[in-house]
Amino acid sequence: MLTDTPEFQQSIFDTLADQIVVIDHDGVILFSNRSWETFSDNNGCVIRDGWRGINYLEACAAAAESGDEFGEKAAAGIREVIARKRPEYRLEYPCHSPDEWRWFSMRAAPFSLAGKRFLVISHHDITERKKAEEAVLELSRIDGLTQVANRRHFEEFLRAEWQRCLRLEMPLSLALIDLDHFKRLNDTYGHPAGDACLTRVAATLGGFAQRPGDLCARYGGEEFALIFGNTAALPARGIVDGVLDALRALGIANEKSSCGPKLTASVGLGTITPRADGSLEDFIEAVDQSLYGAKSAGRDCVKVRNFDN
């Protein structure tokens, strides 16, 4: 056995903080270090007779069958190293628990001992680095003034939600919101008042985007957008009516607006169940035209386009 050799007994694998297993060319685990055993025990992966003899590739395949795409990638990469198609394989993957956000980096590399070739697979905790990267990425997604999503994040999120709704055959609703006569508000009360107005509006709109498939974003200038994943036309209209009521209730002064002395908004709302032959760009353009229709109709109202009718 590998672990019976003097060379292996003198190895440093068992003293490392990284979780490590050694496998043979069939994927069978020959050794697991202390960190591996401890992590497994702490995360409900207790193996009664230890990890020796468990097939690592089969464990990855089982994870893939349960929907874990990283299990499939790991198995494929390890097999390529075994077949000498690549010198080593690396993969970064999430391993979140119910109360902790965690990321690991896996490395599979060959080594020789006593004239035989094995693979050592190590898992290194990169959670802190990932948290720092996520913090930087989050800053790049946020509009500096209003603290809601910026235009770039809006476009990325909407495209991802379009694909999700296409795959699951679910409706997608998009509302484009334009503050009525905002330029007059800026000119009358000054830019600081205009900035304060945008901040209050953004905070109010954000309260209507609370689910994972929802997003509130600053679309540009005094325009905002609300995305509602898996939301049909009727409930989307109800939400948008609530949006207009909430904006009116803010009571933000705009005395030179033709719509009245308080801030109002116009909304274009569209709903569609995406299809493979459909165009997201055409959908956005149609919603924008609905917004234009609301402004042409006198503002302070909603114009709806339902593509599912």
Contacts of 36 (CB under 8 A, 6+ apart): 19, 20, 21, 51, 123
Say whether 222 is catalytic.
yes
* DSSP characters over the chain: -GGGSHHHHT-SGGG-SSEEEEE-TT-BEEEE-HHHHHHHHHTT---TT-STT-BHHHHHHHHHHTT-HHHHHHHHHHHHHHTTSSS-EEEEEE--BTTB--EEEEEEEEEEETTEEEEEEEEEE-HHHHHHHHHHHHHHHB-TTT-SB-HHHHHHHHHHHHHHHHHHT--EEEEEEEETTHHHHHHHH-HHHHHHHHHHHHHHHHTT--STTEEEEEEETTEEEEEEET--HHHHHHHHHHHHHHHHHT--B-TT-TT-SB--EEEEEEEE---TT--HHHHHHHHHHHHHHHHHTTSSSEEEEETT-
7, 128, 155, 222: the active-site residue: 222
CB-based contact 82:119 (threshold 8 Å): yes
Q: How far apart are CA 122 and CA 95, in angstroms?
A: 14
Catalytic residues: 222
